[in-house]
Amino acid sequence: MRRKVIAGNWKMNNDLNGAINLISGIKQEVAVKKFDAKLIICPPFTSLETAHELLKGSNIGLGAQNMYFEESGAFTGEISASMLKSVGCEYVILGHSERRTIFGETDEIINKKIKKALLAGLKPIFCVGETLDEREAGAAFDVVKRQVKNGLVDVSADEMASVIIAYEPVWAIGTGKVATPAQAQEVHAFIRAELTSLFGEKVAEETVIQYGGSVKPENAGELLGQKDIDGALVGGACLKADSFIGIAVNAG
């Protein structure tokens, strides 16, 4: 049985004080609520080190929202995998649709980042998902297949034990428009079938595939009750401790 994993993608929200307050709120909620899901928080770079200190002794995982694939050097503004490791990160979100659309990241770039993260001992949360136009054109499955395949080029079956995949239909991100549980389940099953053909059945069965896109406590139960939906990557609703933990509680 795959354990549910709920990750909070804070995006570009919360300065250091805001981060301290949100983490303290999350810890208070965790102390009084009952749930089985694994929690991960992904604050902005500027709060990672403090977050790591504040999370010590808890079971909450820490992740970054991006990184560059080179080790070091003249890459102004970029952050390396080893820098993330050095401030206590265990996870890193890669290939988020905002990185793809706003910052022009291609499947090839994302693949380089995934390989570098794995080499450095970071666990990628690898995001895929189609846009509204692509869904309406009947291309959702082709797009997701291409993103999964190209993103995981030269990743080994063993390394897949450290990869989480997040299916995030772009039209559902930050829009309040959620995929129906059946729509999401259909793509999750398709991704798992794709993983079977790439890495074999064992890897496919063990890989955590999260859903992302307007997840909140009210819809988490039904979405995460689907056979192939193993957790959530949460944006808006992770910025308040009670709704973030409410998702974990309702995740089952």
Please give the residue ranges that form the binding site for ligand PGA (CB under 6 A): 9, 168, 173-174, 212-215, 233-237
96 is catalytic: yes
- Nearest distance in Å: CB 201, ligand PGA: 28
CA distance 118 to 95: 14
- Nearest distance in Å: CB 53, ligand PGA: 25
Alpha helices in the chain (DSSP H): 16-32, 48-55, 81-86, 97-102, 107-120, 132-136, 140-151, 181-199, 201-206, 217-224, 241-250
- Nearest distance in Å: CB 242, ligand PGA: 15
Task: Find the Cα–Cα–Cα–Cα dihedral 131, 116, 210, 194, rounded to 10°.
Answer: 70
Main-chain phi, psi angles of 123, to 5 degrees: -100, 115
Nearest to 149 by CA among 189, 191, 177, 212: 191
Residue of 29, 96, 98, 134 with catalytic role:
96
In the complex, residue closest to ligand PGA by CB: 235
Decide if 5 contacts 41 (C-beta within 8 A): no
Q: What is the largest CA-CA distance in the chain?
A: 48
Residue of 159, 168, 188, 194 with catalytic role:
168
Give the residue with the Cβ less far from ligand PGA, 151 or 212: 212
- Nearest distance in Å: CB 214, ligand PGA: 4
Give the residue with the Cβ less far from ligand PGA, 10 or 199: 10
29 is catalytic: no
Give the residue with the Cβ less far from ligand PGA, 55 or 129: 129
Active site residues: 96, 168
